[in-house]
Structure 1
Amino acid sequence: MAGELDLDEFALYNWRGGGGSVWFGVTAPAKGSEAKRIVSMAKGIMNEFGIDFLGGFMVQAREMTAVFDLLYDRNDPAEMAKAHACYQKLLTEFGKIGIGVYRTNIGFMDQAAALQGEVRMDVNRRIKQALDPNGIIAPGKSGIRI
């Protein structure tokens, strides 16, 4: 029933068994043409790796966030490697067209941060240095090292 919390959605994580999931999320201008391009790219890459397409959009006034869930059996090392390789290709290919992820898990932070370019990374390092000169708060988070 709407408005009531339950755990029904968690059943989706057993789509392939094993409950493995990695979310790939990107932000882009809220335009139909961008949505079509993003879905087409994501579907194509996920299909290359044999990963079922599962995704959706959250749309705001000017931007939208697309989130795609790569489901895999985390008890199967081959499936986990396939899902991670798919995620890396999604990062790379979306980065080539200037669309970076809005957040990522720790396993992909360095690769995602590198897509932002050296100028952005320099700004991030300077802010981190000013606010946390001893580097004790979340060291290395989001690819930022001082």
Structure 2
Amino acid sequence: MIAEIDRGELFLDETTIRAIRILWRGARWRIFPYGVWIEPDGAAVIFDRAYRPICRVRRRNEVEIVPPDQWINFKRQRWFWDGWTHPKDSAETREKLIAIVARYGLEPELRRRRDLERRGLLPRWAERPASKRSDRQEARHA
């Protein structure tokens, strides 16, 4: 699934590309896909630059939108870009992100998150469940 994106095997129609580029121009890069976590069961969770989950992709390419404040336990992680390949500077990275958004139908969710972010309602990051925190962390969040 993610390997297909890396190899450039996705072909998109012009309407999808145009719609995503409009979203891309108006959004801040931090709400776009930044990487992927692999959960113990093999599901892939695509996350944004603030390490908030966007969606979960199961083995049969079933896509589930994940709340941005949901904590994800993962066994591996991988990034789609870094400081050297930032989408504002790299056409290749922009195209990769556009392909990911189109492949998994993320445009409506990214538009929703952009709106929440503008209104100050998008969580800054996912919160670790209380049962997973140390006593010190628990006191800090009380």
**Which one has the largest radius of gyration?**
1
Query: Comparing both structures, which one devotes a greater share of its residues to helix?
Result: 1
Same fold (TM over 0.5): no
TM-score normalised according to structure 2 size? 0.26
TM-score normalised according to structure 1 size? 0.25
